[in-house]
Amino acid sequence: MKSLVQSHLVFVCCFCCFFFAFAFSVRFKEPSLRLRSSKTTCAMSFSHPTVCSSAAEIMSVLFFYIMRYKQMDPENPNNDRFVLSKVSWVMLLRSSATWVEEGHMSESNLLSSRSVELDLEGCPTRHLSFVNVATGWLGEGLGVACGMAYTGKYLDKASYRVFCLIGGDESSEGSVWEAMAFASHHSLDNLVAIFDVNRLYHRGTLPLKHCTDVFQKRCEAFGWNTFVVDGRDVEALCQVFQQAAQVKSKPTAIVAKTFRGHGMPQVEDSENWHERPMPKERVDTIIKLIESQIQTKKKLDPKPPVEDSPQINITDIEMISPPAYNVGDMIATRKACGLALAKLGHANDRVVVLHGDSKNSTFSEIFKKEHPERFVECCIAEQNMVSVALGCATRGRTVTFVCTFAAFLSRAFDQIRMGAISQSNINLIGSHCGVSIGEDGPSQMALEDLAMFRAVPNCTIFYPSDCHLNGGMCYIRTSRPATAVIYTHSIFVLWVQHQVVRNGVNDKLTVVGAGVTLHEALAAADDLSKQEDISIRVIDLFTVKPLDAATIISTQKPRAARLSQWRTTLQKVCAGPWGPL
């Protein structure tokens, strides 16, 4: 027994010696990160030199001691994930993790950040291989990290962990706390959020200043395991990150007390240095001081990841069987969409549906009944729901669908916009669109959604839609009322081509509709034909974007003169959701 205890003590002592030796090496990475970020921000006469300095120790510990990843394969599915929620630290990120320190970028390119010749914008985008999602809209990052962590724990069932760096000022955003609630509800113990509490706002001081105890109480109230640490203490940071890895069933928050401009004489913890260029003589003094603190240039290689993420395939997914509807059957497109999602779930086990507490109304409950392990309830928090979806879809790990009322997606437009910038392939389904739900009142009517999604780059819009997959974001608009099936099984509809559903030899007018308005147009065509003997042509605009202008124009070629008048009339309506056709 005595020898066993002695062996245990020897092991503990050896581990402690190794730990402090490693922490000592990491400590001397921090000045080099601070040096490079200082040089870069000063070379641009812009950006955030003092903000970068506040998180240098945190980043050095994360990327050179805690995180497991392959340096030369930054998108490897087994790598730990990192989300930079507050973009003020982007120069620090480029200085550390995957670029200069690891040899992915020359220092000359780093010093040329924000120049037109390089794709190194002031906010990180997917142009850089280590960036999973574009950030820049504060409050978004933690929700995205939640999606990554959810996928890792429940879908991949893998060992990789997710880290998200959040600004203390950023915590004023309500979306941060929506994400905090989501993470604790789903027991995301593979997620670590680091709050950089540096006391200062863009201009002035934070309401909580350096009250890390208040941050701690708030995080704990949301069900998080929480540590408070001196963000300048490398050894303490190493210890709390190690402790976080041992926590089960709870996400971990690390509240780090930091100082803007740390290590910069006469600048540290001072106001009014946000995005403010420093005088050259002060820059030279600071650089010399930081250079004197670099005592080793030893290269620290990160630990390799645990390679246990499953190999997956989310390409060429097809429905297991076609719809069984007949012409004239009455069915709401929202229900048809719910049935189609459930079928799609059987075709591929990486299809995931996220919902905002109205699954019975959108019929996504059908998917939940058949695939409960891939149904993610996000509650009434639409902006966080979209952020989580963006995280689930990163690195091509899932085919992600978001379901809610179309009107409620307007609250998540910031996240949708950032998803497009991130080149995300998420699919959004908005039900109860238009005035057809008039009895519920105007707050429930989605009247702006088409205009909103048409403004989103590379977003395909279906109204209504079958389940074709396409690169880029997709929005599917469904309706509440039951409408008649108008297509037979023999008609193969191309997703980019509009369909002429009613035409005759002596058509006097062309009417273009979609969804409920298409059925109203068909009813009007029947009435005009019977009562006035007037024949009109009706086109189904089910793909609102991209617009199939060729089909619309080709139907008018026999009437060139009338086409000119028809087009002129539409050109005057430029503010509508379809824009100038």
pLDDT tens track for 266-303: 777 667 666 666 777 777 777 777 777 766 666 777 89
C-beta separation of 195 from 254 below 8 A:
yes
CA-CA distance, 118 to 562, in Å (whole number)? 50
Q: Which two tokens stand for residue 69?
A: 């990843």
Give the whole-number percent of the chain exceeding pLDDT 90.
Answer: 37
Overall fold of domain 330-484: Rossmann fold (3.40.50)
Whether the predicted pLDDT of 572 surpasses 60: no
Give yes or no for a contact between 531 and 562, defined as CB atoms under 8 angstroms apart.
Answer: no
Has 170 been annotated as catalytic? no
Would you tell me how many other CB atoms lie within 10 Å of the CB of residue 81? 25
Give the domain ranges of the chain.
Answer: 29-293, 330-484, 499-571
What is the 3-state composition of the chain as percent helix, strand, coil, each rounded to the nearest 5? 45, 15, 40
First to last CA, the chain: 85
Q: Taking a C-beta distance cutoff of 8 angstroms, is the pair 135, 141 a contact?
A: yes
296-318: pLDDT as tens digits: 666 777 899 999 999 999 988 88
More confident residue, 155 or 126: 155
494-519 pLDDT tens trace: 666 788 888 887 888 888 888 888 88
Residue 336 confidence (pLDDT): 84
Handedness of CA 62, 68, 71, 76 (dihedral sign): negative
Predicted pLDDT at 212: 96
Q: How far is 93 from 197, CA to CA, in rounded Å?
A: 18
Q: Quick one: pLDDT at residue 389?
A: 98
CA gap 296, 64 in Å, rounded: 14
Average pLDDT of the chain to the nearest whole number: 79
Report pLDDT for 54: 81
The domain over range 29-293 is classified in CATH as 3.40.50.970: yes
Q: Which of the four CATH numbers 3.40.50.920, 3.30.70.2190, 3.40.1190.20, 3.40.50.720 does domain 499-571 have?
A: 3.40.50.920
Among candidate residues 102, 382, 439, 520, the one labeled active-site is 382
Cis omega (within 30 of 0) on the bond before 279? no
pTM of the model: 0.80
Q: What is the pLDDT of residue 117?
A: 56
Rounded average pLDDT over 198-218: 85
Which of 338, 376, 334, 332 lies closest to 357, judged by CA?
376
Do the two domains 29-293 and 330-484 of this chain adopt the same fold? yes
Query: With the CA atoms of 37, 41, 42 and 47 taken in that order, what torsion angle do they form, in degrees rounded to the nearest 10?
Result: -150
User: Where do we find the tokens 């974007």?
Assistant: 545
pLDDT classification of 235: cutoffs 50, 70, 90: very high
